[in-house]
Chain A
Amino acid sequence: MDELDRKIINDLQAGFPLTEQPYAEVAARHGITESELLSRLQQLLDNKTLSRFGPMYDAEKLGGAFTLAAMQVPEQDFDKVAEVVNSYAEVAHNYQRDHQFNMWYVLATETPDQINLVNRDIEKRTGLKVFSMPKLTEYYIGLQLPV
């Protein structure tokens, strides 16, 4: 990745033109041809610098339900509990963090009821309490970081 790639990424993290030839427009801003921009983007996707090129949706508006849930798992049981939690298709992400609350997973389901069902089921199978903390208000979300 060179300096121009970084400039392009920072530019396109902010948005993308909704015009007839959007890539040509972006390319012109950076003084390159459209085909050079397209091949740079393809390469950045191929080498996994970029995870995706396109829209980020508000999944709740599309009808999904989400929560962030935390557990306090005894160190010696951690892998066993992780295996149980990770076995649910509804668990989108699961992170170990260095804290007494050491397991943090995100649930994504079609309806709010299913959030409770999965959490209750995890409690039953692990014998541990699940602390569900769904988003109440969003002040900022972005996946933008200067590169």
Chain B
Amino acid sequence: MDMKVRNRRPDLPVSSHVKLDKQDKALITLIQAGLPLSSTPYTDLGHDLGMTEREVIERLKHLMQDNIIKRFGVVVRHHELGYRSNAMTVWNVPDEQVSELGHCIGQFDFVTLSYRRPRRLPDWPYNLFTMIHGQNRGHVLKNIQFLIERCNLDRVEHQVLFSTRRFKQRGAIYHPFNKGLSDDPQTAG
């Protein structure tokens, strides 16, 4: 699996708030729990919202084009599928290289997240955060070694922070409108 790569995605700055109309909000609220498992899910949603099937589909398309819906599909539970180990791996990358390296790391399929975050000097010099998954710690470390070779990171200082305990994993997060996003620990923040 290590060799599988994804297409490069654009740099996405932190999103600003967008205006949604009442109908969009009602649709988002209704599907955040999940799409109906029925023959005609969009018709069913429309039935509850007083919209036609066509309108539901068009609105969903727009929400995807505007990147309000980032992905539409299934979300797996990593742990249950054999990905027992996850490491937040942090890198101290020169500012002018962080975009290039963030993309390089993000293209491999064992990486679920690649973000730039601020340094907190002098205590915390790391500015590139990546989440790496594997079946066990050895596997994760092998994946990290693979990244170091493929993205020429051998001179970049890094730290590997394996998770040892998970205290809280809330399905619904504080903002009532955000429920769909953050039921996985790797997505938010």
Contacts and interface: CB of A to CB of B under 8 A. Distances in A.
Interface of A: 9, 12-16, 18-24, 34, 38, 41-42, 44-45, 48-64, 66-68, 70, 72, 82, 85-86, 89-99, 101, 104-110, 131, 133-147
Contacts of A143: 71, 75-76, 112, 184, 186-187
Contacts of A94: 166-168
Contacts of B15: 58, 60-61
Interface residues of B, number: 97
Given A95-B165, A106-B188, A136-B116, A146 B109 contact: yes
Contact of A63 (B9, B17, B34, B116): B17
B175 A54 contact: no
A24 B39 CA distance: 7
Interface of B: 1, 4, 6, 9, 11-18, 20, 28, 31-35, 37-43, 53, 57, 60-61, 63, 66-78, 80-83, 88, 98-99, 102-103, 105-107, 109-118, 120, 123-124, 129, 133, 159, 161-170, 173-175, 177-178, 180-189
Contacts of A41: 37, 74
Given A13-B73, A89-B174, 20 more contacts: A16-B35, A18-B61, A52-B180, A55-B32, A55-B60, A60-B16, A61-B17, A62-B28, A68-B129, A91-B168, A92-B174, A95-B165, A96-B166, A96-B167, A136-B14, A139-B99, A139-B102, A141-B112, A142-B113, A145-B109
B175 A53 contact: no
Contacts of A48: 77, 80
A59 B175 CA distance: 9
Nearest to B177: A62
A108 B13 CA distance: 18
21 contacts: A12-B74, A15-B72, A18-B60, A20-B40, A23-B38, A34-B39, A52-B183, A54-B72, A56-B72, A56-B180, A61-B67, A92-B182, A92-B188, A97-B88, A108-B178, A108-B182, A139-B12, A139-B105, A143-B187, A145-B76, A147-B81
